[in-house]
A and B are shown apart, each in its own frame.
Chain A
Amino acid sequence: MLFNSFSFLAFFAAIVIVYYRISHERRWILLVAGSLAFYGAFRPAYVLLLLGVTSVAYGAALAIDASADPRRKRALLALGVASVLAALFVFKYYDFFVATIDAGLLTAAPAAAPVFPRLNLVVAAGLSFYTFSCVAYLADVYAGRLRSERHFGYFSLYVSFFPKLLAGPIERARPFLAQVRRPVSFSDAGVTAGLQLMLWGLFKKVVIADRLAAFVDTAYRQSVFASPADLLLATYFFAFQLYCDFSGYSDIAIGAALVLGFDLMENFRRPYFSTSVPEFWTRRWHLSLATWFRDYLYIPMGGNRVSRTRQAFNVMAVFLASGLWHGANWTFVAWGGLNGLYHLMWPAAAAVGRRLTSILRLPRAAGALVAGLCTFHLILVTWVFFRAASLGEAATILERIARSAPRLPALFAARVTSGEMLVSLALVAVLLGVEAMDERRSIWLRLGDRPVYVRWAAYYALLFGLIVLGTWDLQQFVYMQF
């Protein structure tokens, strides 16, 4: 039951209607049951895994909270976190690790047979997201930032809440559990705002991301045969496909939660308007994961309060872990590593940039534009690793694009001729235009200031954009695979 399916819209409408008709005391039951049904619709066996991880985290947190001995607390934390992450390891990483070890052994002795058996398990949708939510909860309880939740139903809702279950935001327990306890009454403005966000998220996913995906998939599936211009265009498109796909999912999730009276974390803040790589990662892209790594890995490792060498090590560790979190493939590790390097080298590059700006006497806006374009293109290079099937393929794509660089403008112009391509480019322009407006002042506040006919015209434009231009062949959300 994907967000971009009619069955989800029917499911969600039914949940909302019942939700506002029953008392607050019963709502958690409806939401937990709905969430489990939503998850079970993908594969019923997943529900057992979800309940297993939830139970382990619930029990471990109670034990941590009940213990007065710091060493025992720490041991319980380690045990709880290890148990939760074990599920993630078995389903997502085991085969990758044993395949890597086997490959190493085969290099040493080519005639040898693989040593380790493969599990060939299908990664449960959303597993990376809800295990990280559980780890965050355990860490918060251990650190005393939060008391353990005694109500298993409330805690289950925190882990399994269907809007965020499959691809986040990776919500923190404290604000979420406080909202579960707080009675919610129907709010016209809240429901409207939630529906606005859902509509915009659906537009980004179904109209923009899935349209771009067709071009990206064709070029990357046959990267050897695709022309360098196609590969470059596909890489640009992938940057926007991924953003619209994931931020679209997040908008639908946050919007659906808002309709039900829940305020989830913001996950994206117009990332391609970043003027530096650190800004991109810490303040604009996948914020719930970035802050997770900051709070539960970077800071516990010492954060900034260590030597510069150790700090650089911490940064690289976080980015490599982030890469591995995305998938059991060396391409993601390379993606994380490259971003880590950017992050470390950015201060020096920024100093050079500032010096050049002052020598050339560029206006501040022009300097910001150049910095923004540099940031975007640096990130663009990393998306090649993110999208390619292997490191070799990523290297080949980058090499082919680089070799054809002098001819690319002409090739590019020749390529942008079909109606489909022009529609795709126009949609990217619309996205950037809306985000540019949003960057100055919230688009929702702007819309709220307008008369009702303007607001409704905007809604109808989005709705009919979905109907007329949408790709409705139920393409999965990219981040669901993580």
Chain B
Amino acid sequence: MQARLVPGQVSVAAFIEAGAPTSHRAFARRAALFLTIGAALYGGAYAAAEWLVYRHAQRNRFFAVRSAPPSRYDHVILGASHSAAFDYQDMNARLERMTGATIMNLSVVGGGISVSRLLLDYFLSRHEAGSIIYVVDSFAFYSREWNEDRLRDRRLFARAPFDPTLAWLLLRNPATLSVALDYAAGFSKINNRDRFAPDVFPDEATRFDRAYRPVDQIDEQRLAFLYPTQVNPAVFRRYLAQFEALVADARSRGLRVVVVKPPIPERVSRMIPGEARFDSALSEVLSRHGVELHDFTHAGFDDEFFYDTDHLNREGVLTFFEYYLKDALLAIR
């Protein structure tokens, strides 16, 4: 092989010249030994990553399900970021005190129906529940971004402790096959850049105590981020069917299902495209299964109760609990 470098430099090709050609077999034997040692080291890294998960994980929903001793919860809350705020700081403990009920919040920021379904299935594999409180957001029915894509987000599982049940749930769903391999191999856990950071939602850590001052441009950007310019009817039908299947399955297991629409400022609710059509389709599904809907969209919460365009802040969540959600939960206990 010809080295093609200036004199004085040593090329990789020249280095090769130093080694005599060897057989595939000798190389394969050394490669196998190298890989075996590597696998053992990887196992060590996996164990260390798992230990860090148990040491630092807090809000990760898979961690919550896995680490809690098997028991019966009165309510399981499912939904996206609007209901994730019900678990920020000490909010869930407060709601439990207000209602005297045990509650596990499994809401995930940006989590649509597919994500909720996975979490519910996983939850029910270890625990029992009396009712499901599903906090719906119409945007989660309009795009795969909040569903299949979010399910494939490796960060969702970076702090999920290993559990064969969860691995199986991921494996049997074609949408999460690649995630299943990643989860089983623990790659995202070992590779997690936030391995030493506290496990809290970013908004929980930085903005939850603030009050929002409306800015038109920010509102428009937020709505444009959440809602597609044009709703694809087939996509909407698909996620509505998934939602209906979730409700039907929960009902068949003897769980009570309550659907909640969270409060948002009137100004923002007027900006949401096609909400009347969504409400009508949702009501139709819920009435088919005898599920009650509590629509708090127009509960009159002003911007002072929000930390951004549409998320309740601490005061907003407490007010919502005290005057609305508490009664709804007490009624179904």
Contacts and interface: CB of A to CB of B under 8 A. Distances in A.
Contacts of B45: 464, 467-468
Interface in A1-40: 20
Interface in B1-23: 1-6, 9-13, 15-16, 18-23
B276 interface: no
Contact of B4 (A175, A194, A261): A175
Given A187-B16, A468-B191, A20 B3 contact: no
B10 A472 contact: no
B190 A193 contact: no
A470 B191 contact: yes
A48 B23 CA distance: 39
B38 interface: yes
B190 A442 contact: no
Interface stretch (A145-153, A223-231, A262-270, A330-338): A262-270
B212 interface: no
A129 B27 CA distance: 34
A332 to B, nearest CB: 29
Contacts of A469: 191
B330 interface: no
B4 A188 contact: no
A188 B38 contact: no
Contacts of A420: 193
B2 to A, nearest CB: 6
B16 A258 contact: yes
A100 interface: no
B105 to A, nearest CB: 28
Contacts of A190: 1, 16, 19
A170 B80 CA distance: 50
Interface string A426-446: 000000000000000110110
Given A263-B4, A266-B4, A460-B38, A188 B19 contact: yes
A472 B191 contact: yes
B41 A464 contact: yes
A444 B13 CA distance: 11
Contacts, number: 91
Interface in A193-208: 193-194, 196-197
Contacts of B1: 190, 261, 263
A468 B12 contact: no
A189 B16 contact: yes
B296 interface: no
B225 interface: no
Contacts of A194: 12
A448 B37 contact: no
A186 interface: yes
Nearest to A191: B27
B37 A456 contact: yes
B12 A258 contact: yes
A416 B149 CA distance: 35
Given A263-B3, A444-B12, A467-B42, A188 B26 contact: yes
Contact of A189 (B5, B18, B190): B18
A463 interface: yes
A185 interface: yes
Contacts of A445: 10, 15
Interface in A244-274: 254-255, 258, 261, 263, 265-266, 269
B34 interface: yes
A244 B179 CA distance: 29
B5 A266 contact: yes
A467 B12 contact: no
B63 interface: no
A193 B21 contact: no
Interface residues on A, range: 35 or more
Given A258-B16, A467-B45, A269 B191 contact: no
Contacts of A186: 21-24, 27
Contact of B2 (A175, A463, A470): A175
A194 B97 CA distance: 64
A114 to B, nearest CB: 25
Contacts of A266: 4-5, 9, 11
Nearest to B1: A263
A254 B5 CA distance: 14
B187 interface: yes
A442 B10 contact: yes
B26 A442 contact: no
B195 to A, nearest CB: 9
B54 to A, nearest CB: 18
A191 B34 CA distance: 15
Contacts of A20: 24
A20 B15 CA distance: 21
Nearest to B21: A187
Contacts of A467: 42, 45, 187, 190-191
Nearest to B17: A189
A463 B39 CA distance: 11
Interface string B163-206: 00000000000000000000000010011010010000000000
A187 B15 contact: no
A439 to B, nearest CB: 11
B80 to A, nearest CB: 22
Nearest to B187: A467
Nearest to A251: B12
Interface in A439-466: 441-442, 444-445, 448, 456, 459-460, 463-464
A138 to B, nearest CB: 21
B16 A468 contact: no
Given A266-B5, A460-B38, A467-B187, A448 B15 contact: yes
Given A20-B24, A188-B22, A456-B34, A197 B12 contact: yes
Nearest to A419: B196
A263 B3 CA distance: 8
Given A186-B27, A187-B21, A193 B16 contact: yes
Contacts of A456: 34, 37
Nearest to A269: B9
Contacts of B196: 419
Given A188-B19, A263-B1, A254 B38 contact: no
B22 A193 contact: no
A192 B15 CA distance: 10
Nearest to B188: A472
A194 B13 CA distance: 9
Nearest to A172: B4
A139 to B, nearest CB: 19
Interface string B53-95: 0000000000000000000000000000000000000000000
Contacts of B6: 283
Sort A-B residue pairs by CB-CB distance and give the 8 closest, nearest first.
A189-B19, A188-B22, A442-B10, A263-B13, A190-B16, A189-B16, A187-B21, A188-B27
5 contacts: A188-B21, A261-B1, A442-B10, A467-B42, A472-B191
Given A186-B27, A456-B37, 10 more contacts: A175-B2, A175-B4, A186-B22, A188-B19, A258-B13, A261-B1, A442-B10, A442-B15, A444-B12, A470-B191
